[in-house]
Amino acid sequence: MNKNFTNLGLLILRIGFAGMMLTHGVPKLNLLFESPIKFADPIGVGQVASLILALIGEVVAPILILIGFKTRLAAIPGIITMFVAAFIVHASDPIGVKEKALLYLIGFIVIFLMNAGKYSVDGFKNKRI
């Protein structure tokens, strides 16, 4: 019974964190169609590259996490994106400003460590093997 609660907890964690992250990432998709692209460049790779990296961390990875496909691998861009947001973009801001990025960072780290659980594409694939 405890294992079922663990898998249910992982499902809720994945849906909650990935779904909420999409609310931050999807609006950024419109920035791809602006000319010129104006986006922060916190790590010095250029505005376009920074936007693409942010979209990978805030749209592509959360979609994969949401369905539980390659979950551990998909959590890595989310971890990196939230690390940059918390400790580079908001480095000098008070904790109340960087709190959201830190919470997402913690959630994606837990997802990375725990994996998707059985209620996921990964779990379904492992069951069939």
Per-residue pLDDT tens, the chain, 129 aa: give them.
577 899 999 999 999 999 999 999 999 999 988 888 889 999 999 999 999 999 999 999 999 999 999 999 999 999 999 999 999 999 999 999 999 999 999 999 999 999 999 999 988 877 665
The CA-CA-CA angle for residues 24, 90, 20, to 5°, reads 20
Amino acid in the structure at residue 46: G
- Predicted structure pTM score: 0.90
Amino acid in the structure at residue 78: G
Q: Rounded to an integer, what distance in angstroms lies between the CA atom of residue 52 and that of residue 32?
A: 8
